[in-house]
Amino acid sequence: MLELMKEVYLWETHILDTFDIRYEFDEFEFFEKLCYRTEDRWSFLTDDVQSLLEGGEGVETTFGYSLAFGTFSNTGNYFAVIQYVYPQTPATEAGLKRGSIIIEMNGNAITRDNYTDLYYSSSLSLTLGELQDGVIHQTGTVNLTARKQNLNPVIASTVIDNGSQKTGYICYTDFFGNSETLFYPVFQEFKAAGITDLVLDLRYNLGGYLSVAAALVGVVCPSEFLTGNTVLISKTWNDLYQDYWADNNRDDMLHEYFPKFSDVPVNLNLSRIYILTGYNTASASELTICGLDPYMEVIKIGDVTRGKYTAAMIFNPEEDPEIENWGTQAIVYKYANAEGVTDFKNGFSPDYPVEDVLMGEVYSLGDPRENLFKTALSLIGTNAPSSVSLPPTRNISGVNFDRSFSSKMNGLNHHLIDTKKP
């Protein structure tokens, strides 16, 4: 760990020279000492790198849902609300859907100490509830057994035709490795339908592979930029690697470019795009937003994004059987778009702030009545976007959502992963 981090870590100058590994006895505690937590919120160590790598390819042992966690201020009791479910998963088969409320698991209250069991247990009995008059009432139970499977991050898509305009909508939840093969067909359907506008829903997308983000921007951007030399991002490494790449004319390690037109199965050739955002819009999603911004009109609707302007790589000692399943996901560079936008620690603010309604009058993703999508459709259907009346906020009185809870299993899909290793 020490040798690796002193070579590749973006903030390697902050690693102390006084470490004596003979007196370090806890791997995770030692890794924390190596990390520059003033800036780095993302690097981590794992003793199960195989599961981490599989998760990055969309293979997980999972129940198949993403959750938000709330509490009633007058009781302090936590509950979970399902933001979405992946298709063909145990959650879907049990009838769970967006807006379903979980008030207990295995007969126990949900707490800050045990809530991750909702992701990592092999089986669960969930007590469900329903909101009535500001109170959640118990409605029944469902039993779930986790299953290892490939997840499809395209969880909703549709075309809305209002006569003069056709709007394509796609909700894409993870930049899993090779998941472009799952979204290409959807965009090809949009192309065949003759859509005039696109709503890209990234409100729950915590990131993933850089290569997939590059593929996505190649689909939606103006075709004139698909020359193979249009800068998507520039990369800033630590001094060692920044100088090495420059001295050896390794422009491929200092920049990421839009793909060539011949490498993109479908291009919508749009001049503007509507992107739905939220607190869980992070990393590769934010790169998509800021990477496209210099080249087309990007209209953001929803909430402020997470604020992750760095990229990581996975390192694991494959040839050492004693530690072969250990690995680290270490931050190796920060990125900037073609206009130099970087260090957006506080995320990107939406052009149109709109609440993501999860309780009360909840609509499925892709439903024209759903709050964020409805706003996008209103903007698309008017010649004066600034005059659009935003949907009213519908926060349930006395309910607070806690963003410190994870919305789903931790994995490398929560980050921007570059596979071009030094």
The whole-number pLDDT of residue 133 equals 79
Answer whether residue 386 is part of any domain.
yes
Is the pLDDT confidence value at 183 over 50?
yes
Is the pLDDT confidence value at 75 over 90?
no
The total domain count for the chain is 2
The whole-number pLDDT of residue 412 equals 57
pLDDT tens per residue across span 204-217: 999 999 999 999 99
Are 178 and 71 members of one domain?
A: no
DSSP per position, 153-219 = SEEEEEEEE-SS-EEEEEEE--B-TTTHHHHHHHHHHHHHHT-SEEEEE-TT---EEHHHHHHHHHH
Q: How far is CA 339 from CA 10, 216, 286, 310, 343, in A?
A: 22, 20, 15, 16, 13
The whole-number pLDDT of residue 173 equals 97
For residue 204, give its domain range: 154-313+334-398
Are 300 and 342 members of one domain?
A: yes
Burial (Cβ within 10 Å: 0-12, 13-18, ≥19) of residue 53:
middle
Is the pLDDT confidence value at 386 over 60?
no
pLDDT tens per residue across span 296-331: 999 999 999 999 999 999 999 877 888 889 999 999
Are 69 and 123 members of one domain?
A: yes
| Greater model confidence, 202 or 133 | 202
Are 145 and 191 members of one domain?
A: no
| Greater model confidence, 411 or 118 | 118
Which CATH number goes with the domain that contains 91? Answer: 2.30.42.10
The whole-number pLDDT of residue 414 equals 63
Nearest residue to 419 (alpha-carbon basis) of 315, 328, 342, 320: 315
Is the pLDDT confidence value at 385 over 70?
no
Nearest residue to 47 (alpha-carbon basis) of 20, 28, 74: 28
What the block records as the tokens of 35 is: 């990390």
* Percent of the chain at pLDDT exceeding 90: 81
* 3-state SS, residue 4: helix
Is the pLDDT confidence value at 196 over 50?
yes
Are 220 and 77 members of one domain?
A: no
- Average pLDDT on 81-92 reads 96
The whole-number pLDDT of residue 398 equals 61
Are 229 and 346 members of one domain?
A: yes
Let me know: does 300 contact 350? Beta carbons within 8 Å: yes
Answer whether residue 89 is part of any domain.
yes
pLDDT tens per residue across span 260-276: 999 999 999 999 999 99
Are 294 and 386 members of one domain?
A: yes
The whole-number pLDDT of residue 397 equals 55
Pick from 147-151, 396-400, 413-417: least confident:
396-400
Q: Does the pTM of the predicted model rise above 0.75?
A: yes
What the block records as the tokens of 130 is: 């329903």
Pick from 43-52, 160-169, 183-192, 411-420: least confident:
411-420
Q: Which of 109, 133, 150 is the last residue of a domain?
A: 150
CA–CA separation, 287 and 232 (whole Å): 9
Is the pLDDT confidence value at 158 over 50?
yes
Which CATH number goes with the domain that contains 260? Answer: 3.90.226.10
Q: Which of 82, 115, 150 is the last residue of a domain?
A: 150
The whole-number pLDDT of residue 370 equals 96
The whole-number pLDDT of residue 320 equals 83
CA–CA separation, 152 and 174 (whole Å): 9
DSSP per position, 336-349 = E-TT-----TT-PP
Is the pLDDT confidence value at 410 over 70?
yes
Answer whether residue 197 is part of any domain.
yes
| Greater model confidence, 411 or 4 | 4
Q: Which of 150, 180, 214 is the last residue of a domain?
A: 150
Question: Beta-carbon neighbour count of residue 380 at 10 Å?
Answer: 21
Q: How far is CA 213 from CA 101, 161, 297, in A?
A: 32, 28, 18
Answer whether residue 143 is part of any domain.
yes
